Amino acid sequence: MATGVETRRGAFSRTASGLTREIAPIHHWIYNVFTLLVLTGAAFFYLWAPGVYPGTSPVLGLIVAAIAVIPIYTAYSMLASAMPRSGGDYVFQSRILHPALAFTALAAQVVWLWYWLELSGFWIAAMVFSPLFSMLGFYTGNPGLLNLAAWFSGQQGIFWTAIIVNLLVAIAFIPGLRTYLKIQWVLFAGVIVSLVTMTIVLLTTSHAAFVANFNGLMAAFDPQQADYYQYIIDTAYANGFSPSAGGGLGGLIAVVAVAWFNLIWAVWSMPNLGEIKHANNFGVLFRVMQLSLGFGLLVLALTMGLLFKVCGVEFIQAAGYNWWNGTIDYPVLPYSSILTSVMGGSVLVVVLILFGFFTQAVQQTFNVLVGGTRLIVAMSMDRVLPEGLGKISRRFRGSPVNAILFLLIGGEVLAVLFLIAPDVESYALSTALAATFYQTLTVLAAAVFPWAAKSIYEASPISKYKVGNIPLITICGAWGVLVGVVLLIFYLTDPGLGLRPLPGETLLGFIGMLVVFLIAFIWFWVIRAVNKSKGVDIDLNFRQLPPE
């Protein structure tokens, strides 16, 4: 007999069972900070934004992007607290908008996760191993190490790194989250140590010292270029670089689109809502999301500013221009990992900086598997993917082993494709567009939530947040749709964002993206018909029951 009674300001609870899964706010915040890619993805930003849009301040672009993201995170937090279910965006869209739309957008995202797995391998090869062996070769004068560094920057090095890292992380993840959780603090500590070391190095290195160290390192690779620093600048100008290009409102929006690659990604915790303790508490969720954003903005803006100060604005812009246009065949790619390592002047500093890049890339692989498997399980529960794909393993205590293998095999096949047909890499640039597409659909779902899923909205605590008579979630969602549509237009039309081909390039990325969406869309209707022939009407999964 239950006689235990708890009271709290007029609320009385009786003794009853209440089993819940819990991911604490601090772990949620760490997860978000990782997905904001404050080291690895940021290294792209430091070259991409100033190199392609030198007429726009990248720091201003970051600030504008962060301001634009705030209402979107608010909409996500509200939606999540009202529907805190595993599957996140897929669940929101399929229940509020339409299941075919949700499946098309999120199944395509699952396919793009294969690319994200490749990206982890790329980051480790090009941003960790290549700089590491460059610096070791430079310090020791060992040409073998320099050759190894160049190998890791090339197709073979990236391929083998991706294959091995993905395999090892998947093996570690199959027994469940435990292995990851055991090392999560180490991975996070690695990122923090790297950020702190980079900041100290950037604050204590003079421009002249950087130029001298950089030229010394590059001369080890290319003895004919005694002043590689100037060579980068001259080559950029010789190939059409203009410091005033990419300015104005169009340039600012484009830089925001580049910053989006980092700052939007706290939303990747949404597929894990079923395991987050505070997922139905809008206040806590809101704070965790916004604090993640604040941390990401601080790191990126500070690092960008310091790189400009130490390396020189013109150099960073020119290095980015050559990187984007392929006008220099860099022996070691000029990411922030190598630029800051070369400033340190010691092997210890190099190791401290690169270890963080390594741990973030490893964690990124875990993130892909964690979020991706939750999406797959949610879809298979709805029967829009084969049920076996989302099967939970008894042996591994609830781990979705088949979904992990699906992601792993897809990632490994893509790695092979990248190796034998390097042009396929242009497909990768459509990831930003594809992600923006599904995120825009989610904020659209947020905007119409109070009417499209009225009973769930009214039952949720967020229904009290209004501006006048308009639900706050509608205002934030509408803002998100506006931003999303503008970004989608830019991704499609601005050659600096990857999908519109430069002269001499192909439309492969764009075509690849369309094919994935088309296949997903057709798949939904075919699987719907197949299920119906077996007496399973999957439309029922998405239809709201009358609440009156």
Contact residues toward another protein (CB under 8 A) are 1-5, 7-24, 27, 82-85, 95, 176-178, 181-182, 184-185, 274, 280, 381-383, 387, 392-394, 397-398, 455-456, 458-461, 534-538, 540-541, 543-548
Q: CB nearer to another protein: give 18 or 223.
A: 18
Q: Under 8 Å CB-to-CB from 193, ≥6 apart: which residues?
A: 352, 355, 356
- Nearest-angstrom CA–CA distance, 229 and 215: 6
| CA 453 to mean position of chain CA atoms | 29
We find the least distance from the C-beta atom of residue 445 to another protein, in angstroms, to be 15
We find the least distance from the C-beta atom of residue 480 to another protein, in angstroms, to be 22
Q: CB nearer to another protein: give 31 or 116.
A: 31
Q: CB nearer to another protein: give 80 or 428.
A: 80
Q: CB nearer to another protein: give 329 or 548.
A: 548
We find the least distance from the C-beta atom of residue 285 to another protein, in angstroms, to be 13
- Nearest-angstrom CA–CA distance, 351 and 332: 17
Q: CB nearer to another protein: give 456 or 488.
A: 456
Contact present, 77 and 258 (Cβ < 8 Å): no
Q: Which amino acid is at 294?
A: G
For residue 145, give Cα distances in angstroms to 164, 300, 492. 20, 31, 41
For residue 227, give Cα distances in angstroms to 56, 222, 236. 28, 10, 14
We find the least distance from the C-beta atom of residue 370 to another protein, in angstroms, to be 13
Q: Is residue 224 exposed (0-12), middle (13-18) or buried (19+ Cβ within 10 Å)?
A: exposed
We find the least distance from the C-beta atom of residue 33 to another protein, in angstroms, to be 15
We find the least distance from the C-beta atom of residue 524 to another protein, in angstroms, to be 16
Q: Under 8 Å CB-to-CB from 472, ≥6 apart: which residues?
A: 74, 78, 462, 465, 466
We find the least distance from the C-beta atom of residue 84 to another protein, in angstroms, to be 7
Q: H helices then E strands: how many in the chain?
A: 22, 4
Q: CB nearer to another protein: give 2 or 420.
A: 2
Count of all residues that appear for the chain in the document: 548
Contact present, 374 and 272 (Cβ < 8 Å): yes
b/e 391-409 (16+ beta carbons within 10 angstroms → b): eeeeeeeebbbbbbebbbe
Q: CB nearer to another protein: give 219 or 452.
A: 452
- Nearest-angstrom CA–CA distance, 190 and 196: 10
Q: Which run of H or of E encompasses 303?
A: helix 282-311
We find the least distance from the C-beta atom of residue 395 to another protein, in angstroms, to be 10
We find the least distance from the C-beta atom of residue 447 to another protein, in angstroms, to be 19
Q: CB nearer to another protein: give 40 or 359.
A: 359
We find the least distance from the C-beta atom of residue 7 to another protein, in angstroms, to be 6
- Nearest-angstrom CA–CA distance, 128 and 337: 7
Contact present, 114 and 155 (Cβ < 8 Å): no
Q: CB nearer to another protein: give 11 or 208.
A: 11
| CA 175 to mean position of chain CA atoms | 24
- Nearest-angstrom CA–CA distance, 107 and 100: 10
Q: Which run of H or of E encompasses 269?
A: none
Contact present, 86 and 92 (Cβ < 8 Å): no
Q: CB nearer to another protein: give 298 or 392.
A: 392
- Nearest-angstrom CA–CA distance, 167 and 121: 11
We find the least distance from the C-beta atom of residue 5 to another protein, in angstroms, to be 4
User: Other C-beta atoms within 10 Å of 30: how many?
Assistant: 19
Q: CB nearer to another protein: give 90 or 491.
A: 90
- Nearest-angstrom CA–CA distance, 438 and 441: 5
Q: CB nearer to another protein: give 207 or 397.
A: 397
| CA 500 to mean position of chain CA atoms | 21
We find the least distance from the C-beta atom of residue 212 to another protein, in angstroms, to be 45
For residue 293, give Cα distances in angstroms to 30, 136, 148, 260, 442. 12, 35, 37, 11, 19
We find the least distance from the C-beta atom of residue 270 to another protein, in angstroms, to be 16
| CA-closest candidate to residue 367, choices 413, 417, 425, 407 | 407
We find the least distance from the C-beta atom of residue 433 to another protein, in angstroms, to be 31
Q: CB nearer to another protein: give 24 or 348.
A: 24
Q: CB nearer to another protein: give 423 or 539.
A: 539
Q: What are phi and psi of 9, to 5 degrees?
A: 45, 60
Q: What are phi and psi of 463, to 5 degrees?
A: -65, -15
